[in-house]
């Protein structure tokens, strides 16, 4: 199943439909401000396991990020940070960044990395933030990336082609237009501040 939503003015009825599927344990492919992403509710471990299988991983090997609707919501899922780090997050979010943070106790162990961290994202995308707001909790996500040596950019940036490939294995694909070809910029804030991967987001550390 695929549905078209428009960034800037997502249809509330369709937003509720996608949110209902996620609350019920479904898997959605959603647009972000970088790549499309496999997403599920953080309350459904089985859905997260199915996403790991789609990526060819076991659950413990998968590196998930948490998609949040706002920095305020995100702050409930990472441990306290100093003023400078908070200022950095406030400057960059919403935006094409993933911040690796020390996970709070509210993050299920299944989604924490081995060193008890979690990637936090607040995408600059009205569609996905509206869906997260409607769900009421953050979403667990991992990007839709080339598989099996597939280097055809359109296969993971064009929502119609993404639907052709994964539509039978997920509950819904949300068409929010063509995706960017660059992933998010990853910054590790769990022990100091360190640039891990340069992606779409430009940051001065």
Residue in this structure with the two tokens 């992933």, named with its chain if needed: 183
pTM above 0.75, yes or no: yes
Sheet holding 194-197, edge to edge: 2-4, 172-175, 28-30, 37-41, 139-143, 65-67, 117-121, 97-102, 185-188, 194-197
Residue 146 has pLDDT above 70, yes or no: no
Name the token pair of 32: 């972000």
For position 67, what pLDDT does the model report? 95
- 85-104 average pLDDT score: 92
- Could you identify the residue written with the tokens 């789609």? 54
The arithmetic mean of pLDDT across residues 173-177, rounded, is: 96
User: Using an 8 Å Cβ cutoff, are 139 and 40 in contact?
Assistant: yes
At 54, list the tokens: 């789609």
Q: Give Dmax over CA atoms of the chain in angstroms.
A: 46
pLDDT in tens, 1-54: 999 999 889 999 999 999 999 999 999 999 999 999 999 998 888 888 888 888
Beta-strand pair 117-121/139-143? unpaired
Flag whether pLDDT at 57 surpasses 90: no
Q: 63: pLDDT confidence band, cut at 50, 70 and 90?
A: confident
Cα atoms found within 13 Å of the Cα of residue 157, Cβ hemisphere only: 12
Before 143, cis peptide (omega within 30)? no
* Gap between the Cα atoms of 177 and 102, Å rounded: 33
């Amino acid at each position: 199943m695929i549905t078209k939503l428009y960034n800037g003015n997502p249809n509330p009825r369709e937003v509720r439909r996608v949110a209902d599927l996620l609350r019920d344990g479904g898997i959605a492919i959603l647009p972000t401000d970088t790549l499309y992403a496999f997403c599920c509710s953080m309350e459904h471990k089985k859905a997260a396991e199915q996403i790991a299988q789609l990526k060819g991983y076991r659950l413990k090997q998968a590196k998930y990020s948490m998609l949040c609707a706002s920095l305020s919501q995100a702050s409930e899922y990472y441990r306290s940070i100093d003023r400078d780090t908070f200022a950095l997050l406030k400057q960059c979010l919403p935006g094409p960044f993933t911040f690796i943070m020390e996970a709070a106790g509210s993050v299920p162990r299944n989604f924490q990395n081995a060193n008890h961290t979690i990637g936090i994202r607040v995408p600059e995308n009205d569609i996905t933030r509206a869906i997260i707001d409607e769900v009421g909790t953050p979403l667990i996500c991992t990007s839709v990336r080339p598989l099996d040596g597939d280097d055809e950019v359109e296969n993971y940036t064009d929502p119609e082609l993404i639907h052709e490939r994964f539509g039978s294995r997920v509950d819904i694909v949300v068409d929010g237009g063509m995706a960017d070809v660059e992933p998010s910029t990853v910054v590790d804030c769990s022990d100091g501040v360190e640039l891990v991967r340069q992606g779409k987001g430009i940051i001065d550390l």
